[in-house]
């Protein structure tokens, strides 16, 4: 671990992390929206993808004023690597268990983004940045909604796998 980040350096770090994780979400959704073996999950992921691409662009625009580009650091790097690994296993092996794991990691990435949005919302309030405040509120609500939809689909997928003959 490096030295603690404070002030503007911390804000840049938060944007970098959010951008990097959002890229991982978009990449995962792009792959899963065509390869996922469950039609309802595939549909939910496709619906989420369009919105998440838009949020990635918005994060990049908002982060630019803080010199953030999506630099991958520890947390984002670990989550990105886990997502890539589970996606690779799922698509290479084609087994339900692999797709289930990739789907679960995607849900976790979205939940991480909910947390990031909450932090950005509080930073925006403290710095009186109304544009960031409004974007963070919208982003947090959208991530919460889509994470829940995907979590519900994941639970249904678990039942399918568990009850397969």
Residue 25 lies in a domain: yes
The range of the structural domain enclosing residue 128 comes to 7-162
Residue 37 lies in a domain: yes
Q: How many domains does the chain have?
A: 1
Residue 1 lies in a domain: no
- At residue 151, the pLDDT reads 97
Residue 2 lies in a domain: no
Residue 149 lies in a domain: yes
Q: Which of 5-9, 33-37, 120-124 has the weakest average pLDDT?
A: 5-9
Question: Taking CA 103 as the corner, what is the angle to CA 99 and CA 108, rounded to the nearest 5 degrees?
Answer: 150
Give CA–CA dist 135/144, Å, rounded: 14
The string of pLDDT tens digits covering residues 103-114 is 999 999 999 999
- At residue 164, the pLDDT reads 87
Residue 124 lies in a domain: yes
- At residue 24, the pLDDT reads 96
Give CA–CA dist 131/10, Å, rounded: 19
Cα four-point dihedral sign 98, 100, 103, 109: negative
Give CA–CA dist 113/55, Å, rounded: 11
What is the DSSP-derived secondary structure letter of residue 2? Answer: -
Q: What is the pTM of this model?
A: 0.93
Closest-CA residue to 104 (of 51, 158, 50, 52)? 158
Residue 120 lies in a domain: yes
Whichever domain contains 108, its CATH number is 1.20.1260.10
- Mean pLDDT, the chain, as a whole number? 93
């Amino acid at each position: 671990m490096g030295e603690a980040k404070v002030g503007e350096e911390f804000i840049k770090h938060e944007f970098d992390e959010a951008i990097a994780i959002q890229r991982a979400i978009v990449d995962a959704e792009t792959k899963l929206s065509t390869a996922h073996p469950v039609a309802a999950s595939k549909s939910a992921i496709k619906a989420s993808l369009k919105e998440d691409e838009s949020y990635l662009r918005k994060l990049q625009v908002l982060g630019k004023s803080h010199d953030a580009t999506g630099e991958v650091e520890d947390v984002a790097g670990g989550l990105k690597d886990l997502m890539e690994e589970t996606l690779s296993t799922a698509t290479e092996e084609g087994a339900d268990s692999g797709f289930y794991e990739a789907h679960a990691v995607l849900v976790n990435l979205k939940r991480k983004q909910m947390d990031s949005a909450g932090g950005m919302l509080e930073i925006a309030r403290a710095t009186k940045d109304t544009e960031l405040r409004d974007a963070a509120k919208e982003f947090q609500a959208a991530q919460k909604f889509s994470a829940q939809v995907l979590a519900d689909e994941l639970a249904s997928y678990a039942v399918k796998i568990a009850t397969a003959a």
